[in-house]
C-alpha cells in the first residue's frame, strides 16, 4: 500500500531482507514496536524509507515480545 487510509499505519522499514525460520520478511517499526511483514505482501513496494500497511490486531502473532504480521 502506498497511500495512507484510516485502517493503515505508517511503517518505517528497518531491513528489507530478514529471515525468520524459512520465510523472508521486511523488518519494520511502528514507533518503538518491531513487526515482520512477509515479502509476499510487499511486491511492488520500494524497500527504502516508509510504507503504509493495513494491520488488524487479530492477524498479529507475538513471540518472545516480537509481534509478527
3 lies in a domain?
A: no
Counting the structural domains of the chain, the total is 1
pTM for the complete prediction? 0.64
CA distance 58 to 14: 23
Supply the range of the domain harboring residue 14.
8-68
48 lies in a domain?
A: yes
Give the burial class of 67: count Cβ atoms within 10 A of its Cβ; 0-12 exposed, 13-18 middle, 19 or more buried: middle
Give the pLDDT of the chain (69 residues) as one tens digit per residue: 445 456 777 888 899 889 988 989 988 888 888 888 888 888 878 777 777 777 655 555 555 666 655
1 lies in a domain?
A: no
33 lies in a domain?
A: yes
59 lies in a domain?
A: yes
Amino acid at each position: 500500500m502506498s497511500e495512507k487510509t484510516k485502517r493503515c499505519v505508517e511503517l518505517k522499514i528497518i531491513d528489507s531482507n530478514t529471515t525468520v525460520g524459512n520465510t523472508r520478511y521486511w523488518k519494520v517499526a511502528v514507533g518503538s514496536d518491531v513487526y515482520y511483514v512477509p515479502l509476499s505482501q510487499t511486491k511492488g513496494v520500494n524497500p527504502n524509507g516508509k510504507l503504509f500497511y493495513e494491520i488488524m490486531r487479530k492477524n498479529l502473532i507475538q513471540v518472545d515480545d516480537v509481534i509478527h504480521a
